[in-house]
Amino acid sequence: MGELMDFVAGASEKIGIPPEVLTGMPVVELTGDVAVMIEQHHGICAYSEEEICINVNLGRMYVCGSGLAIRVMNRRRMILYGRITALRFERRQG
């Protein structure tokens, strides 16, 4: 997979497009322990105030904490707020 990512990185640099756009990989930005922004998501698979499960290209991402809430969600990105204690990624098998 390393050679493929090297190729994608080189190609994206040449055409001026970020590599995560070409691969569909999620972009995750954590702001302290109070907010997380996730780009390139594929919707929510589970939601509670303690855990939000988000479908992403290669599997699922879990945001864990307390008082979690979705503030923004559109086709491109979502922003979650609350007391964030953990982020976890589980790669899809196969």
Domain 24-91 has CATH 2.60.40.2000: yes
Average per-residue pLDDT for the chain: 86
pTM of the model: 0.78
**pLDDT of 88 over the 90 cut:** yes
Q: What are the structural domain ranges in the chain?
A: 24-91
Higher pLDDT, 45 or 8: 45
Query: What DSSP designation does 91 have?
Result: E
Q: What is the mean pLDDT of residues 22-27?
A: 72
Q: Is pLDDT at 14 greater than 80 in this prediction?
A: no
**Whether the predicted pLDDT of 21 surpasses 70:** no
3-state DSSP call for residue 21? helix
Lowest mean pLDDT among 19-23, 31-35, 62-66, 81-85: 19-23
Quick one: pLDDT at residue 10? 67
